[in-house]
A and B are shown apart, each in its own frame.
Chain A
Amino acid sequence: MSAELDLAARVVELTRRLAGPGAEAEVLAAHAAEALTRFANSAIHQNVADATTTVRLRLHLDGRTAGGSTTVTDAAGLQSLVERTIAASRLSPPDQAWPGLTPPTPLRSTPTFDEATAAAGPHERAERVRDFVRAAGGLETAGFCRTTYSSGGFANTAGQAVEGRAAEAAMDGIARLDGADGVARRAASRLAELDGAALGTRAAAKARAGGRPIELPPGRYEVVLEPTAVADILDNLASFGFNGKAFAQHQSFAELGAQQFDQAVTITDEPLGATLPFDLEGTPRGTLPLVGDGTTVAVSHDRTSAAEAGATSTGHAGVASRSWGPIAANLRLAPAPTPTGNSTPETGEGPTAASARALVSGMRRGLLITDFWYTRVLDQKSLVITGLTRNGVWLVEDGEVTAAVGNMRFTQSYPQALGPGAVLGVGAEAIALPDRWSGVRYTAPALHLKSWNLTGNASG
């Protein structure tokens, strides 16, 4: 038994003792160690690490519910957590939506776990940063190299008891030249899979190809989106479309069984290996098909949204999922079947990532877009998003990149952009990409889309 599962079990027993046998309690004890080495102006300027164990208790007592957490895990800290959660539950209004506890349920599988990544030190991260900076060949660079390790144990008064571990590594960096930025980023289950030099080379190639950008008028353009941009689409689909609470409240575009996407679109959530193998309610995680050949087949649920929607939990309970909804954090857009021998190696030449080259060569006139930035919802139901391009845009004519283009603003419905008949091509290689803000990750190929609504340029 891990230290975390032992801790969770002790808090369950303490709660039972203090609140009485009728209490329904669930406890997650999670140890999280995150280390992030950040660089800017081609030097490491922020280098941080923390290791924290947090105990979360949710208690349903006499029809009322309250939750609490603490990082103070000595006897007094745990006693305080239980006592104040009991007090909070007794003062809370009745909870009509309590979905009950997760019954004893085995984990679906034990994902692979890399001890070396979990134990990586600051020198190993700094070496990758050094390699990135050197490979950029004198261009100004910025970014981060990150390793994370988590170990969790869950127990509840219904008898569910599960534990697991996960580790992840990620690197994300830009190279800059005369106002043009190029980017390269990767996520991996093993730090050893991250090649700082390869990423620095790719970022620099993009920056060098981004000079003297032209300004294009707003309008609808055919586009090839590199995986880094596609990841933003997955992020917003997960947060606002496949969110079980939004679905239950009729705020999502999702209609189960409807052909809402092009038949080339298949999306799954694949959390195993990227995060703990169970959620905050102790529900085992597993691969969740969301869209199959263009048809929406599921949304992500915790126990509360599942009860409201007449479904079952998919293992997506989070710290605030009762308020903000259960959000899938590991979406994967399936790549096109790979023709034998068709994959091309990444190089240090030109602006196009290897994963997008075949799609670019098939575009008569349109834009190659590297990345999206600051995307925000204008209308949740239709998922109209506004945001900007970032880290490189190029004009493509007759399958060749002909000019760099200045960053542009777009205002676009994401489901509409991926709708039936709107996807002209899907890349053959799916790339694992870290979210730049949190620990989630997405896996995406490049996409060739018929239309993207660009609504502004550098002039406004």
Chain B
Amino acid sequence: MEALNLEDIQGFVLRQYLFPVLRHFLLKVGDPAAARAMIGRLVSGDENDAPQISTAEEAPPGTTYHLHLGITYAGLVALQVKEKLPNLAFKSFAAFVEGAAPRAARVGDVGRHAPENWVGGFSTGNAHILLTLYAARADILDDYTTHLTKLFANTKAFEELWHGDGAALTEVVNGQPVPVPKVHFGYTDGISQVSIKGGPEPALPDHQQPCEPWLFVLSDDAENYYLPDPPELSRNGSFGVFKLIQQDVVGFENFLQSQKDKIDPELLAAKLMGRWRNGTPLMLSPETDSPRDGIKFDQMNDFGYVNADGSGDPRGLRCPIGAHIRRVNPRDQPVTGQGRPGGSNNSHRLVRRGMPYGPTYVPGQPDDGIERGLLGYFICSNIENQYEFVLKQWVNDGEFVGAVRMNPKCKDAIIGNNDPAESIFEIRQQDHPDPIKITGIPDFLTTKAAAYCFLPSISALKFIANLK
């Protein structure tokens, strides 16, 4: 196996940035030759000329921003990459070629989530380039934005269709707001990250085998695909699914409270997620979010669900089988598409790079009408087998697991496309034969936009820039 070529891979594929603000720009290609030349300037190495796209090498001290670039298939056409490379073929990557909008129904994005309701031109053929700018401070974000916007306007390379800002949520400490690793609905996020063999950032211990790098970075070594043609364009690239997701924070809190005759609202919040809102996993602490002996941060992800001998929590008494984190990463739980008890990995994992948008919401406060949500980016090597598979088979289905028969109508209560008329979430109890049945769960999310992007390597961006 070849070592990961960190200087060629876009940084955010393999690294999780701690910067508190970011801005995504959706761009339409203006003059194709100017656009290719501009892409070249973003990887020229000349900081004075233009902001530079970050590689996965360790950032030098004092780094204040990171820039990343994704291209949709429509973008490759608009950049004339397809025209100039007659052998261009994403043969085993039909989802990328087709794009997010035509495939929205597969992942449950119908009705109010459907592409005709998406913002910013994401559902049009003009969604070409998604540029992502992380910064250490808001004023730095604005400075680089001004620089990029000027470059794009002066050269007629790109036309901005939309931009969206994300920012870490905050908690007030000593009168000052400080960033916290939380997402709306109040849960601590980012605890569970994929561990990649040879990757620069080892994840927390998690009872799982590290993933093969080709599951996230396109490689000649891959077990289940050939590099798209030409390899100069595809090698060391990745695919990223961008998703703008509105979250109904008031609706979520109200729903938790509405069930308080059946179950304590905080326990319900934990059962729906699989973790207490402070991140403590139910598998390690089913009764309280503050176990007496404490759980060290590096143990917060160190658990499985079902051991090789079938022991553990096969029936979901601690952590419900249908809890969000048990669906999207079943770990050693046998489910369709993944192994047997104690089996520790699968080919359906995703690297998550998300950032909240909208101000921190304090439960109990009245509805201020401000929109809140998540700017999600889900990175993989195969959109069908990773992103779409997880949403279709494990999030929006109730029949993927064998140890306990879930209600066939049971979907992920946090992110599933639930219909309150038929949704159900069952919480099994140690000391009682009947599960607590939570019904009437609404869909707390609204998909506002999505894009299937290719995240080319640095050398591939130069290759595009040099196409004559």
- Chains A and B are bound partners: no
Question: Which B positions have Cβ atoms within 8 angstroms of A?
Answer: none
Question: Which A positions have Cβ atoms within 8 angstroms of B?
Answer: none
